[in-house]
Amino acid sequence: MDLSARTAEQIGEAIRRTRKARGWTQSDLSGRTNLRVATISSLENGDAGTKIATLLTVMAALGLEFRLVVRGESVEIEDIF
């Protein structure tokens, strides 16, 4: 799974898809993160006002991490150096 995102909506969708791929409800995620169900809901619905801390907490619970990629560049290892 490798989801690109440039908007809060796309981030939320990636979170939601990963959560469902884990077979978890928002309530499950809430229990694992100490974040309110309401908070997770608005994050998944693309609220750009959500704090980075909240996003990172959810991503950690889902086993996700970021890659900040320059648009248009491929992720070829040869391009690193």
Partner DNA sequence: GCTCCTTTTACGGCGGAGCGTAAATTAAAC
Partner DNA sequence: GTTTAATTTACGCTCCGCCGTAAAAGGAGC
Contact between 3 and 17 under an 8 Å Cβ cutoff? The reply is yes
Sketch the per residue contact string, 22 through 61, with a second copy: x for CB under 8 A, - otherwise. Answer: -------------------------xxxxxxx-xx--xx-
Which residues, at least 6 apart from 26, have a Cβ–Cβ distance to it below 8 Å? 19, 37, 40, 41, 44
Which part of the chain contacts a second copy (CB under 8 A), choosing from 23-31, 32-40, 69-77? 69-77
Q: Binding of DNA at residue 18 (CB under 7 A)? A: no
Cα atoms found within 13 Å of the Cα of residue 34, Cβ hemisphere only: 2
Q: Point out which residues bind DNA (CB under 7 A).
A: 20, 25-27, 34-39, 41-45, 47, 49-51, 53-54
